[in-house]
Homo-oligomer: A and B are copies of this chain.
Amino acid sequence: MEIHVAGRIADADRGPAREACSIERAFSLVGTRSAVLLLREAAYGTRRFDDFVRRTGLTEAVVAGRLRELVSAGVLATEPYQDEGKRTRQAYVLTDSGRELLPVLVALGAWGQVHLPRRGASLTHQGCGALVLSDLTCEKGHDVSDGDIVASA
C-alpha cells in the first residue's frame, strides 16, 4: 500500500496543514495508554469505575480524569446504576462512536500479534477461530489494502 499526498498538504513543509490531519486529531484524543486501556476494558465489558481501576492498573485519579474526557468526547456514555442499599453511581459504556474505535484497537493488536509475538491475549473470529486481521476498504467497497491511498487537503 502506498499513500500519495495531494492538495494543500502536498506542500510538505506546511506544518499546519499536516497538523489538520485526522490521524493526529484522533490520536490526540484517544492516543494515551490510559485511554487505550480503558477503551479495551470497555470493549471487554467493564462498566464500573472500581473495575476499570483494578483491571487497568491505572490510578483512580488517572481513570477518573480519562473517563471524564472520553465521556465528553462522546466515546463513552454514563449510565446510572444502584446496588442494594448503596447510592446511585455511574457506569461507563461505549457509545456508537466508541464502538467504531474498536477496529483501531483490534488493528493495533493484530499487528502486535504478528510483530511483537509473546504469550498473551489474541483476538480471533468467534465464527471460525481464525486470527483477526485489519483491512482497508473504501466507502464504495473496494479493497484498498494493496491499493493506493490519496491523502489530500
The verdict on A21 contacting B121 (CB below 8 Å), with A104-B104, A136-B107, A139-B130 known, is yes
- Verify B17–A121 contact, CB threshold 8 A: yes
Given the complex, which residues of B lie within 8 Å of A127, measured CB to CB?
138, 142, 144, 147-148
- Verify B150–A124 contact, CB threshold 8 A: yes
Task: Say which size band chain A's interface belongs to.
Answer: 35 or more
Q: Which of A37-45, A60-68, A76-84, A85-93 contacts B (4 or more CB under 8 A)?
A: A37-45
Tell me the nearest residue of chain B to A21, going by C-beta.
B121
Q: How far is the CA of A100 from the CA of B104 in the complex (A)?
A: 13
- Verify A118–B25 contact, CB threshold 8 A: yes
A105 located at the interface, meaning its Cβ lies under 8 Å from any Cβ of chain B in the complex: yes
Q: How far is the CA of A83 from the CA of B99 in the complex (A)?
A: 49
- Verify A108–B138 contact, CB threshold 8 A: no
